[in-house]
């Protein structure tokens, strides 16, 4: 049924006479997913209209897009990406739509969603619970680096998927058998509270600091498998201090919150690297919680020393790559603007 745009859409349309206009019709063969594609009361189509300044009308399995030619091309690619996402069994919420809109500025979007010509697979990570595709342009580069480099530094603000994608890739490689162990670590740096004051044994003291790593694991694997693999030693979650003196071979190793390491800790961690292993070091250089007098962040020091070294990749995220609720990106941007 044809719709008229909201007032926000009309506001987008007033200046369109300054641009070349286009009109494109997209037809979808698989009609069973059209309800989810359009959204309740066509909310997904309205979201695309408001963000890209186009007008969209739907009749049956045909969608007509009108507006500036570049915006129409982006809207077409976004709709195709949404359709393919639904066909592959993935969820489609406003966040996923927003991510596809953000990626539509990249000419590689269609290749990411459907695969390159000649049958090459699209960029994705498959785990037992879900299939993950990149949700921002930088995530594309990051996911490529996760399969092509030995050591990857992932830098940027919260909500950009640094740790989550690393854990997902690690789980995928553990399931496939390309690595034998998954080791997740982070420094147990206090924020106004000392570990010694917390109740329980050492595991109970450090678990709160490692909870984000557990959350990512449970999102990629059934809980019973996570617990079984932790019990067997295939998955290890521990503070960075527990890495000293070890050689981490046949393992996918992730260090989270790396900005809270000292240079000595970072050197110790990096030199644990063993045969057939991969290391991902995640952190936000702007969120250092090291106590005063400790010195420089080990993450900043390592990136300065190692960027450009063969086999090592550095991927930098920014506020435009935040894939949590859109307000998270605005919050991060406001704080960074204030600190600048």
Give the model confidence (pLDDT) of 67-80 as tens digits.
988 888 889 888 98
Residue 141 half-sphere exposure toward CB, CA atoms < 13 A: 14
Residue range 307-338, pLDDT digits in tens? 889 999 999 998 877 776 667 667 777 877 65
Closest CA to 133 of 171, 168, 176: 168
Q: What is the pLDDT of residue 5?
A: 43
- The tokens describing 215, both together, are 């959350």
Question: 135 pLDDT exceeds 70?
Answer: yes
Length of the chain: 340
Q: Which of 66, 86, 114 is the last residue of a domain?
A: 114
- The tokens describing 230, both together, are 């932790």
CATH number for the domain spanning 12: value is: 3.30.1370.10
Task: Provide the residue range defining the domain that includes 268.
Answer: 125-339
Question: 14 pLDDT exceeds 80?
Answer: no
**Element containing residue 114 per DSSP (H, E):** helix 109-114
**Element containing residue 75 per DSSP (H, E):** helix 69-87
Question: 199 pLDDT exceeds 80?
Answer: no
Residues 56 and 135 in one domain: no
- Residue by residue, DSSP assigns 146-164 as HHH-SEEEEE--TTSSHHH
Higher pLDDT, 134 or 169: 169
Rounded to the nearest 5°, which phi and psi values hold at 67? 155, -165
Residues 142 and 206 in one domain: yes
Calculate the average pLDDT of the chain: 80
Question: 206 pLDDT exceeds 80?
Answer: no
Query: Do the domain assignments include residue 170?
Result: yes
Residue range 138-175, pLDDT digits in tens? 888 999 999 999 999 999 988 888 999 999 999 999 99
**Element containing residue 84 per DSSP (H, E):** helix 69-87
- What is the rounded distance in angstroms from the CA atom of residue 41 to the CA atom of residue 87? 21
Residues 174 and 131 in one domain: yes
Rounded to the nearest 5°, which phi and psi values hold at 19? -120, 160
Contacts of 114 (CB under 8 A, 6+ apart): 80, 84, 122
Q: Which of 114, 149, 178 is the last residue of a domain?
A: 114
Residues 160 and 210 in one domain: yes
Question: 197 pLDDT exceeds 80?
Answer: no
What is the pairing mode between strands 62-68 and 21-27?
antiparallel
Closest CA to 234 of 222, 217, 251, 210: 251
Residues 147 and 283 in one domain: yes
- What is the rounded distance in angstroms from the CA atom of residue 151 to the CA atom of residue 314? 9
């Amino acid at each position: 049924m044809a719709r008229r745009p909201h007032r926000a859409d009309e506001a987008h349309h007033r200046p369109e006479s300054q641009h070349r206009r286009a009109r494109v019709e997209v037809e979808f063969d698989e009609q069973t997913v059209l309800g989810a594609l359009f959204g309740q009361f066509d909310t997904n189509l309205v979201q695309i209209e408001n963000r890209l300044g186009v007008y969209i009308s739907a009749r049956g399995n045909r969608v007509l897009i009108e507006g500036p030619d570049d915006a129409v091309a982006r809207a077409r690619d976004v709709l195709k990406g949404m359709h393919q996402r639904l066909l592959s069994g993935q969820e489609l919420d406003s966040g996923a739509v927003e991510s596809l809109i953000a990626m539509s500025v990249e000419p590689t979007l269609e290749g990411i969603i459907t695969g390159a010509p000649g049958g090459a697979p699209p960029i994705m990570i498959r785990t037992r619970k879900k299939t993950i595709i990149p949700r921002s342009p930088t995530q594309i580069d990051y996911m490529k680096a996760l399969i092509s480099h030995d050591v990857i530094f992932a830098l940027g603000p919260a909500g950009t998927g640094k740790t989550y994608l690393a854990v997902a890739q690690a789980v995928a490689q553990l399931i496939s058998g390309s690595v034998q162990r998954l080791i997740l670590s982070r420094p147990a740096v206090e924020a106004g509270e000392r570990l010694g004051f917390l109740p329980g044994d050492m595991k109970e003291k450090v678990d709160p600091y490692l909870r984000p790593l557990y959350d990512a694991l449970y999102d990629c694997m059934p809980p019973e498998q996570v617990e079984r693999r932790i019990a067997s030693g295939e998955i290890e979650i521990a503070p960075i201090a527990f890495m000293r003196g070890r050689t981490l071979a046949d393992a996918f190793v992730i260090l989270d919150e790396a900005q809270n390491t000292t240079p000595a800790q970072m050197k110790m961690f990096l030199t644990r690297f063993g045969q057939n292993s991969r290391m991902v070091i995640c952190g936000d250089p702007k969120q250092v919680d090291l106590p005063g007098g400790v010195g420089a962040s080990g993450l900043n020091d390592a990136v300065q020393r190692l960027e450009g070294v063969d086999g090592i990749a550095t991927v930098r995220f920014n506020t435009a790559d935040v894939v949590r609720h859109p307000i998270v990106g605005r919050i991060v941007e406001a704080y960074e603007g204030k600190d600048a």
